[in-house]
Structure 1
Amino acid sequence: MQPTEALTSAALNSLSRVSGSLAGTSAFTLFHMPLTRSRMRAAERELFGAAQLGRVKVNGKSAVTYRWGDGDRTVLLVHGWQSRGSRFADFVPGLLDRGYRVVAFDAPGHGEGTGRSVNILEYRDIIAELHDQYGVFEALVAHSMGVLGSFYALKHGVKAKRIVTIGGVCDFDYLVDEFCSALSLRRQLKTRLQGRIAKNLFPDLPADRTPFSVVHTAEYVESPILVIHDEDDTRIEVGQGRRLAGAFGDRARLITTSGLGHRRILGDPEVVRAVLDFVEHGVSTTPALER
């Protein structure tokens, strides 16, 4: 445990012994605050400097949007936790070469987005607003926690003809477990946090489907899905990718890689090629990734 995490853990656990309610509120707030804000890399600056910028406002904060191309088929790129839209830089040129309009964004608390926090409802609302602007997405490509936010948007009416998940989170509970484990939170405090999540984020979901899971969207989402996950991903374990793919049966195809981890997978040429093939043809024709 890092020094900052150790101090946070001690403070929350101590507070929970004095006021469980206040500790639960504090944990809920911290759960939605990225500890670091990812910066744009030098190799990403030219491409993102050429994008047409926009903003989507949500709860007094703004997501910054990036757009390239004038095609009428839109591909949306959705980044994950403590990341930013520019991490998809390797995908954009190939999509433009194939005639797509490409849209990405920095969520609040990430990249150039304003504010210090973001939650799954705000991810949903940002994606829904972009859907209103551009219509049905030709494809939606999401990474990490962005997968969870994307499927929550799909559950609420957003449409995409093809879907790609990379290192994706399937179950919201997975994030809660990881957060509580990282901070060694007391069992009672974890219960308080779960209660806040159910009340504040998912009040309309039935108890047996709270919190949200991608598994529960299989009845709503009919598009073909390509699931890519690295076996050595130490941030989001590969079991999440397998669970996601398994929920959709024949509509989903799972590709597992090795040695790429959680972030480097976005820059791997074979992964990029597999995603481009799937977006264009609905299948992956990249032998190097066959398992």
Structure 2
Amino acid sequence: MAKKTSNPIQSLKIPRVIILSCKICAFISTKLVTKYAARLFTTPIKHKVPKRELEMDRKSIQHTIHIPKINKDIVVYEFGKSDRKILLVHGWSGRGTQLFKIADELLHNGYSTISFDAPAHGKSKGKTTIMSDFIESILEIDKNYGPFEIAIGHSLGGMSVLNAIKDGLKVNKAVVIGSGDIVQEILDDFISKLELKPKISQLLREYFENKYQTVMDNYSAYRASAKIKVPVLVIHDNDDPEVPVKAGIHIHKHLENGSLFLTDKLGHRKILRNKIVIKKILDFIKSN
């Protein structure tokens, strides 16, 4: 849905045709535009795997597993052979090889990694998904491939890791990079980018709460963080155009045993390949 940009601190742009279609729906009826916005919000883009990720894709052992609680299948990547396992969780419109640079360094340091294409992402089937699908995938992968020493999540994957730990995932430590935080603020930002009236954001939240019979704010990262006891490293870029740095700062504030590492000029995705960031992750993992 969003256009690519080569500038790491420039936000992805939503095509004008989608914005125009939203305005047409809004003109027809509030209910229609709410349903249309919900469809857009839950539909990730399946990007072509970049060349830089092909080696991890090629060297991984790949399996398709079923996630009973959501009745969906996902593709899982086993990268390296070691009993010291680390779980990697990509973000929205990402894929299981997106954290390849981190995975490479972990392999060189004696770890193996398990990652996956979340439902409707990468090689996994489907067109729509939500965060609870990510969380259930993590918990099922833990049953099949765990235990994991560490869990590392990027963006929505970071939120999902924190929620999975809250829901029973056992790890010694966790790392979240560019994680979103408050669900309502995420919805507000999405509706703003669609150039719709702010009231649609509240209607969108109510739509999801009615559909899934849940309270959306229960998935906010800061709420999960308040219940986590294990050490968590929060990494965020001051210039992140997709997820404001205040999200990382707020998450860290609610952690009992948290560390905060802020970077500059790396944006939302380039941060995953930065040598200083990866060294910080390794130092955190190895520390007592």
Query: Same fold by TM-score, threshold 0.5 exceeded?
Result: yes
Q: How big is the alpha-carbon RMSD for the aligned residues of Structure 1 and Structure 2?
A: 2.2
Question: What is the SS of the residue equivalent to 2:116?
Answer: strand
User: Do the aligned residues in 2 keep the contact of 1:147 with 1:170 (CA within 8 Å)?
Assistant: no
Partner residue, 1:228: 235
Partner residue, 1:241: 248
Question: What is the SS of the residue equivalent to 2:101?
Answer: coil
Once the two structures are superposed, residues 34-76 of structure 1 have per-residue CA deviations (whole angstroms, 9 ceiling, x without a partner) of: 2x32222222212221111012335454321100233222200
The correspondence of residues 31-46 of structure 1 with structure 2, limited to 5 A, is 31-34=41-44, 36-46=45-55
Q: In the aligned structure 1, how far is the partner of 2:80 from the partner of 2:241?
A: 35
Cα distance change of structure 1 residues 218 and 267 upon mapping to structure 2, 3 Å threshold: closer
Instruction: State yes or no: 1:216 paired with 2:223.
Output: yes
Question: What is the SS of the residue equivalent to 1:233?
Answer: coil
Instruction: State yes or no: 1:6 paired with 2:16.
Output: yes
- What is the percentage of aligned positions where both structures have the same residue? 28
Aligned with 2:147 (options 98, 118, 136): 136
Q: CA deviation at 1:211?
A: 5.1
Question: What is the SS of the residue equivalent to 1:174?
Answer: helix
User: Do the aligned residues in 2 keep the contact of 1:148 with 1:171 (CA within 8 Å)?
Assistant: no
Instruction: State yes or no: 1:127 paired with 2:138.
Output: yes
Which sections of structure 2, spanning at least 5 residues, go unmatched?
A: 4-12
Q: In the aligned structure 2, how far is the partner of 1:131 from the partner of 1:83?
A: 20
User: Do the aligned residues in 1 keep the contact of 2:76 with 2:117 (CA within 8 Å)?
Assistant: yes
Aligned with 2:56 (options 25, 47, 51): 47
Q: Which amino acid aligns with 1:186?
A: K
Cα distance change of structure 1 residues 78 and 199 upon mapping to structure 2, 3 Å threshold: same
Cα distance change of structure 1 residues 108 and 146 upon mapping to structure 2, 3 Å threshold: same
TM-score (norm 1): 0.86
Q: CA deviation at 1:131?
A: 0.9
Cα distance change of structure 1 residues 136 and 200 upon mapping to structure 2, 3 Å threshold: farther
Cα distance change of structure 1 residues 18 and 211 upon mapping to structure 2, 3 Å threshold: farther
Q: CA deviation at 1:160?
A: 1.7
Cα distance change of structure 1 residues 56 and 181 upon mapping to structure 2, 3 Å threshold: farther
Instruction: State yes or no: 1:156 paired with 2:163.
Output: no
Q: In the aligned structure 2, how far is the partner of 1:272 from the partner of 1:237?
A: 21
Once the two structures are superposed, residues 133-177 of structure 1 have per-residue CA deviations (whole angstroms, 9 ceiling, x without a partner) of: 133320011111111122222222112211101111122223211
Partner residue, 2:284: 278
User: Do the aligned residues in 1 keep the contact of 2:192 with 2:198 (CA within 8 Å)?
Assistant: no
Q: CA deviation at 1:17?
A: 4.5
Q: Which amino acid aligns with 2:83?
A: D
Once the two structures are superposed, residues 62-118 of structure 1 have per-residue CA deviations (whole angstroms, 9 ceiling, x without a partner) of: 321100233222200011112222221111222123332210111122222222222
Q: In the aligned structure 1, how far is the partner of 2:64 from the partner of 2:230?
A: 28
Q: Which amino acid aligns with 1:91?
A: I
User: Do the aligned residues in 2 keep the contact of 1:13 with 1:189 (CA within 8 Å)?
Assistant: no
Q: CA deviation at 1:239?
A: 0.7
User: Do the aligned residues in 2 keep the contact of 1:120 with 1:152 (CA within 8 Å)?
Assistant: no
Q: Which amino acid aligns with 1:9?
A: I
User: Do the aligned residues in 2 keep the contact of 1:198 with 1:210 (CA within 8 Å)?
Assistant: no
Instruction: State yes or no: 1:262 paired with 2:268.
Output: yes
Q: In the aligned structure 2, how far is the partner of 1:15 from the partner of 1:169?
A: 28
Which sections of structure 1, spanning at least 5 residues, go unmatched?
A: 283-291
Instruction: State yes or no: 1:179 paired with 2:190.
Output: yes
Question: What is the SS of the residue equivalent to 1:39?
Answer: coil
Q: In the aligned structure 2, how far is the partner of 1:94 from the partner of 1:224?
A: 21
User: Do the aligned residues in 2 keep the contact of 1:80 with 1:146 (CA within 8 Å)?
Assistant: yes
Q: CA deviation at 1:212?
A: 2.3
Instruction: State yes or no: 1:25 paired with 2:25.
Output: no
**Matched pairs, number:** 276
Q: Which amino acid aligns with 1:102?
A: T
Q: Which amino acid aligns with 2:251?
A: L
